[in-house]
Amino acid sequence: MNCPSLIEDFLKHGANPNVDHESSSVLMIAFDHAKRKDIIALIRAGASKGGAGKIAIQCCKSYSELRLFIKAGISVDEIETRHGVSTLDTLFKRNFTPSKQLQIQNVVSKLLSFGANPNLAREGTDSPLILAIRNNMFEVTEKLIEAGANVNHIGEDGNNPAHYCCKSGSTANKNSTMQAMIERGLLLNNQHPCGNYLFNLIVEADFSNTVPILMIEKGADLNLDNDGYDSLLMKCVKQERYQVCCALIEKGADVSYRNAKGQTAFDIFAG
């Protein structure tokens, strides 16, 4: 491997691309030491052995490594369907600088056009949609949702994409993502592991009025079990979201509910 430029010559003369050297496959060694063109040549010649009982595709530590298989002619469908490796998941499991956002958007668009599955994730692990939201890549999230990403997938700590959307990023960027998830069948009335309901999280996260109003239109429960805490209507009154307040009242929000201080929403408004 000290002369990576000779790899193609060795392969042309019948060298076996799947031999091992000191318990490591030639391809795994090449990933650490060879040039990109030589790694691609090995893959095209049939190199597939990885390590620890896995094939090489399953051993990729980054998307830059996985991309070499695509460059070598291995289809996204084969990578995902046959080998169970999510190209999108591998892409998002890295930190991105703002300057890379447009580049990543283009890569995601290309992978989706190649047939990448936006829902390829093991149960109890973060899906590509969750990873994109946690990376504050909201332009990308909408591409994933359009491609059929499961907006109700439960991630590694028991939360769904909507929870992470409430907790991540600037409100200006995530409004359209939350709206897209609601339109795509987001479960509106489930209690989250934090003990809160989605509507409460949305009001507390200070989304624009279009988001809670869409929640109301889609049938969200307006009279959650508040246990003495302020109701949704009360919270919106305190935030002076009177457009949302009107929508809540029109759709049946309980105006007689009293919080632990004995106040109704009207008392708070009048105070």
Q: Alpha-carbon torsion 120, 123, 126, 132, what sign?
A: positive
pLDDT in tens, 18-28: 888 777 898 99
Phi, psi of 20 (to 5 degrees): -105, 150
Highest mean pLDDT, choosing among 8-17, 54-63, 88-97: 54-63
Q: Which of residues 243 and 93 earns the better pLDDT score?
A: 243
pLDDT digits over 192-226, tens only?
A: 888 789 999 999 998 999 999 999 999 999 998 77
Please give the model's pTM, rounded to 2 decimal places. Answer: 0.88
CA 123-128-133 angle, to 5 degrees, is 115
User: What span, in angstroms and rounded, lies between the C-alpha atoms of 34 and 30?
Assistant: 5
Domains of the chain: 1-74 (no CATH), 85-187 (1.25.40.20)
Q: Measuring CA to CA, which residue among 105, 112, 59 is closest to residue 87? A: 112
Residues in the chain: 271
Report whether pLDDT(8) > 60.
yes
Q: For 101-124, write each residue's pLDDT tens digit.
A: 888 999 999 999 999 999 999 888
Query: Token pair of 112, please?
Result: 């989706």
